[in-house]
Homo-oligomer: A and B are copies of this chain.
Amino acid sequence: MDEFDFIDWIRGQTETDPDRVAVGPGDDCAVLAGGVLITTDQCADGVHFVLAECGGERAGYKVMARGLSDIAAMGGEPTAAVATVALPRGTGDEGARAIYHGLRRAGDAFGCPVVGGDVAAWDHPLLLTVTMLGRPAGEAPLLRSGARPGDAVCVTGALGGSLASGKHLEFTPRVREGIQLARDWPTHAMIDISDGLAADLGHLCRAGGVGAHLTAGAIPISPAAERAADPLAAAMGDGEDYELLFALPTPAAERLLASQPLGTPVSRIGTIVPGEAIELLDAAGGVTPVPPRGFRHHT
């Protein structure tokens, strides 16, 4: 059973009591009654970072920034976090403090305190978890499921090459952008790009019961992805961009693109369509189906 199957299975097991849980497992955060957003995530040495190369400070930063990115994807303001550290026995004081400083560097950038945690020593690699709480910046949290045919599909920033360039360790979670999209724009649906554009657009389309047409030439390709053998495939398939992917009515998207108010550049990459197919259209008129689970990323 892989990670996706297991999470799908858990979702099927969970009966949501709407008096307590407004949105259960399956979005970037769960939403509790009263509007509390909650998300949890883990980062392990050898899986999500290589401690010997990046150091504890950047490892701590990364796990906290991933939690912040999930809050951003709901159009939320982060309010507080808790963390656990499974620390390889023999890690010195400085090593332990570096992890905490990394957690704090990410949290402090968005006014999000670390209010509790747990530390345990063991004889295995470093494993960090962060649980992040938030509250919707707009009237309601932005879910994955609200996209409608005719909506413009947009992304922040540029995509691909995050693992190659080291961006996955030092990205800025798009919290400020997510808050603006929730508060000031009629955004219908949003997700952060962690599995890769193709995969996360797949999540957004399945959640909304819609398809999408993407324009190959409109996809913003990062400098690191430009250096890949197939830059477009890197931008479509690489994971860990931590940019926002969202859908909003086309007239609003046109105003957003013209005014670019978010601080981070926004690109329109396509349009939501009826059905369930996701297709990539190139300038020569070619149509490439984008597999429903996208270009899955394997490290």
In angstroms, how far is the closest chain B Cβ from the Cβ of A57? Answer: 14
Contact with B along A13-45 (1 / 0, CB 8 A): 110110011001100011010001011111010
Q: How far is the CB of A120 from chain B (nearest CB, A)?
A: 6
A286 on the interface (CB 8 Å rule)?
no
Partner of A39, one of B2, B82, B124: B82
Residues of B within 8 A of A127 (CB): 86, 124, 127
Contact between chains at A115 and B46 (CB < 8 Å): no
Q: Which of B32, B97, B104, B118 contacts A80 (CB 8 A)?
A: B32
Tell me if A97 and B41 are in contact (CB < 8 A). Answer: no
Instruction: Verify if A49 is at the interface (C-beta below 8 Å from B).
Output: no
Query: CA A96 – CA B92 in complex, angstroms?
Result: 34
Asked if residues B84 and A122 are in contact (CB atoms below 8 Å), the reply is no
Indicate if the CB atoms of A119 and B21 lie closer than 8 Å. Answer: no
Q: How far is the CA of A146 from the CA of B50 in the complex (A)?
A: 45
CB-CB under 8 A for A24 and B115, given A38-B80, A42-B120, A46-B123: yes
CA distance A288 to B214 in the complex (A): 76
Q: Is A44 touching B122 in the complex (CB atoms < 8 A)?
A: yes
Whether A129 contacts B42 in the complex (CB less than 8 A), given A32-B115, A80-B32, A114-B14, comes out as yes
B10 touches A114 (CB 8 A): yes
Check A86–B1 contact: CB distance below 8 A. no
Instruction: Assess A30 versus B116: contact at CB under 8 Å? Given A44-B86, A84-B129, A122-B46.
Output: yes
Shortest distance between the CB of A50 and any CB in chain B (Å): 13
The residues of B that contact A96 with a CB separation of less than 8 Å are 1, 6
Query: Chain B contacts of A13 at CB under 8 A?
Result: 100, 104
Q: Across the interface, which residues of B come within 8 angstroms of A123, CB to CB?
A: 46
Is the pair B116, A25 in contact by a Cβ cutoff of 8 Å?
yes
* Docked-complex contact A115 and B82, CB < 8 angstroms: no
29 A–B contacts, CB within 8 A, in A order = A6-B96, A9-B97, A10-B117, A13-B100, A13-B104, A14-B115, A20-B79, A20-B80, A24-B115, A25-B115, A30-B82, A32-B80, A36-B36, A38-B82, A38-B115, A38-B133, A39-B116, A40-B116, A40-B117, A40-B118, A40-B129, A41-B118, A42-B129, A46-B123, A47-B120, A47-B122, A124-B124, A127-B127, A131-B131
The 7 closest A-B pairs by CB, nearest first: A131-B131, A30-B115, A40-B82, A30-B116, A1-B93, A42-B84, A124-B124
Given A25-B114, A44-B124, 13 other A-B contacts at CB below 8 A? A3-B121, A6-B119, A9-B100, A13-B100, A21-B115, A25-B117, A30-B80, A32-B79, A38-B115, A39-B116, A40-B131, A42-B86, A124-B124
